[in-house]
Structure formats: C-alpha cells, structure tokens
Amino acid sequence: MSILLGAIADDFTGATDLANTLVGQGMQTVQSVGVPADGFDPGEARAVVVALKFRTNPAEQAVADALAALAWLQDQGAEQIIFKYCSTFDSTNDGNIGPVADALVDALDTSFTIACPAFPQNNRTIYNGYLFVDGVLLSESGMKDHPLTPMTDANLVRVLSRQTTYKVGLVDINIVKQGSAAIREQFNSLQSSGFRHAIVDAINPADLMSIGEALDGMKLITGGSGIALGLPENFRRTGGLSGNTDAILPLASGRSAVLAGSCSITTRSQVAAAQLHWPSLSLDPCSFADTPERGAKEALAWVDSQPSDAPVLIYSSADPFVVAKVQKTLGRDKAGDLVEETMGAIAQGLVDRGIRRLVVAGGETSGSVVTALGVTGLKIGPEIDPGVPWTETINEPHIALALKSGNFGAPDFFMKSLAMLP
C-alpha cells in the first residue's frame, strides 16, 4: 500500500512529536531513522516521518539531506509532504528553514507553501506573524539565549524573509478565524501575487484544524507538529484514508529498563520518583573516564546482580553543580560523548540480556541509544504523556521504546509508561 503523507523532520524527537500528532488523529504512522534503506517496510502505515538531524547544519547540507528524504517519500507515493522544524522556529539568519523549504518547493514543482510552527497545546502561538512562547514574544523567551540558534526577532515574516529571496506573506488571525474557505482564498491570492511563502497565524487548536482543512491538496507544508492536526481528516474525507485507526501498544514482551541521560529538572524528579520503586544505579562519568568501556561493563554486571522480575533504572542525571564539576574535570563535550556512548553500550547489553521494554530520557541520549541498537524505524503507538508516544522498532528484535526529550512527562512518567504495557 502506498503512503499518503510523507514528512521530513530536522531532528529526532521532533519527528516523534509529529508522528505522535498524526497517530493521535487516527493515522497509522512509522518513523524512520534517517532516509530509509532499500527494503524498509512501512507496513500498514499511511504516513512516514523521516527523522533527520540537520537543524543546525549549513543550508547546503540540510538541503541535500531533505531532498534525499523527499525522493524516497515520493517513491512511496506520498501525496503531501510536511517539512517539520521546531515550534520555536530554531534557526539563524543563515539558517536552513528557508533554503530547505525553497528546495522542496522547486523539487515538488509547485510555487507556494506555508510556514506555521504554531503548537498552541505547548503554548507556541502566532499572532500577526509574531511567535509567542508561553505568552511572551519569542525574542523575550528563553530562546533569545539559545546557544546555537538565539531567536532575537519574533516576527516570522521578517525571520523567514532573511532566509529566502522569495516573497513571504501573512495569513493573519482574522482570516484564520473565518474558516478554511477564507484561508484557502488567501493562499490563492498570495500565490497569484507572487508570494512563495505565507506565515499563518494560529492561537488555538481549532485554528490549526481550519488551517489543516485549507491545506487539502497543497503539495508542501512547513511547520511544527501542530500543523499536522487537521491533515488526516482531509485524507479521510477524500477517501484515501479509511477509518480512524487506534494506536496500538507495542507487543514486545520481556524485561524492562529505564535509561536516563537527561539532567533536566523534569527528568531528575522522574528519576527520584522511580528510585522509590525499582533498583537503581547512578553513573558517574568521572569514575570511568580513563577506561570508557568500564562504565557499561560495570553497569551491566550490576544489572546481572539484580532480581530479573523488576525493572532496573540506570541514570547519569545529576544536579547542575555535579554536572558542572564533571564538565570542569572532563570538558563539556567529552563528558557528554562519554555518557552518550556509555548509555548506547548499556542499551545494547540490556537487549543482549533479553530486555525488550526500554524507556529513555533525553533527546541526545535517545539518539545514541537508537543508533547503538541499530534501529531503522519505529511504529508509533499511543501517547504516554503529551508529545511522547510508545513506539516499537520495526526491525528485529522488536523492542518497545519510549523516547522522551528531557523536559517532557509527568513526575511518574517512568512508572506510568511501563504500567501501560500489558
């Protein structure tokens, strides 16, 4: 069966977030890790999200990556393409959102697309082209100090205009509130006046549903995960998608483990909560920096000494002053690499020991675990907490994976995720 919707995501957890939105709207979705190799089988899924990693890469490289993903998605029959980036429009003046969108417009032989990173459920809203985060302008939010992509201008028409030579217009909230017919009319009017891009306002999920309806048939859409909210319904209306498929829990059964490499406040509180229930091991990178393999070896020996009927928790999550001390001793990058490599090796050892249910905390940590396990794709299951679904690897051995970015999830996230599985 060919796919209907194809997406190209500029980072891994962003891809999962988008896939989660589609599944929440009843559309079976698979996420691939990188551009799929020959033989990749999306199964019953009607949407595939290709997770790439080019958010902060130079435009030329990002364009090449995105075009390779597009070629694969077109081969699979995708009728509509989403280019997914962050809901805070993370980019610089030399950023790649404009160049990638332009390259995709050209490759799809079209002349118009929209840019809508709004995600009201996560308090990212757009009003008169200005992006707000938690009610304040993007340029006054924490994003102004982001180490790689400081966002100092909240006006997305201006931001995108600096990244493209084509005209960038606006579909403002007054039009959006009039519904899909008015929005579509404005798309047509901008397109015929020579605009290639349109920032689209949205301040609540109903706006995204109206915009979604107006996007029926548009070849390329760019935005955050929220822009996908209204799309599955279009395919149902036109008959391409039958019914509303419930997300399926992973079937993989076996022992469970949690690996936490995020040091965020949220993850640290989740670790503290889980320690009350399960055996836990803290990893101190300084203690094995001289012989890196020792970290995973000792952790796996500890796993072997634990009762096999309870989940185990292994974490490097630490308070900021501990992390600062580690970074001072080892250097920031070296400390990060060491922990990530160790987590990957531990994940491999756990799977070798028959663990088939794995919860991972941390964006980078998740990336290194997925890479170490050689995961090629993930079938997206039901949501555990906002933005984090259960997934299952499509390649053997089938492993249930819950991959959460550090800040996501309630304090009982680890227990809650494992309790969801039969």
Picking from 66, 77, 56, 74, the residue whose alpha carbon sits closest to that of residue 34 is: 66
List the structure tokens of 142.
Answer: 């924490």
End-to-end distance of the chain based on CA atoms, in angstroms?
30
Contact flag: residue 339 with ligand ADP (CB under 6 A): yes
String marking each residue 394-413 x if it binds ligand ADP according to CB under 6 A: -----------xx-------
- Hunting for tokens 């309790």 — which residue is that? 419
CB of 330 to ligand ADP, least distance (A): 8
Among 15, 326, 355, 394, binds ligand ADP (CB under 6 A): 326
- Report yes or no: 366 and 409 within 8 Å, Cβ to Cβ: no
Query: If binding means CB under 6 A, how many residues of this protein chain bind ligand ADP?
Result: 20
Nearer to ligand ADP, 90 or 364 (CB): 364
Among 211, 228, 323, 380, binds ligand ADP (CB under 6 A): 323
CB of 81 to ligand ADP, least distance (A): 27
List the structure tokens of 145.
Answer: 């100090």
The alpha-carbon radius of gyration of the chain (Å, integer) is: 22
Alpha-carbon distance of 332 to 323, in angstroms, equals 9
Report CA 323 to chain centroid distance, whole Å. Answer: 26
What 3-state DSSP class applies to 307?
coil
CB of 362 to ligand ADP, least distance (A): 2
CA distances from 120 to 78, 208, 219, 317 (A): 27, 9, 24, 30
Among 25, 316, 393, 417, binds ligand ADP (CB under 6 A): 316
CB of 87 to ligand ADP, least distance (A): 15
Contact flag: residue 344 with ligand ADP (CB under 6 A): no
Amino acid letter for position 184 = R
Site residues for ligand ADP, 243-262, by CB under 6 A, read 261-262
Q: Which stretch binds ligand ADP (CB under 6 A): 63-71, 137-145, 336-344, 348-356?
A: 336-344
Binding site for ligand ADP (CB under 6 A): 261-264, 285, 316, 318, 323, 326-327, 335-336, 339-340, 362-365, 405-406
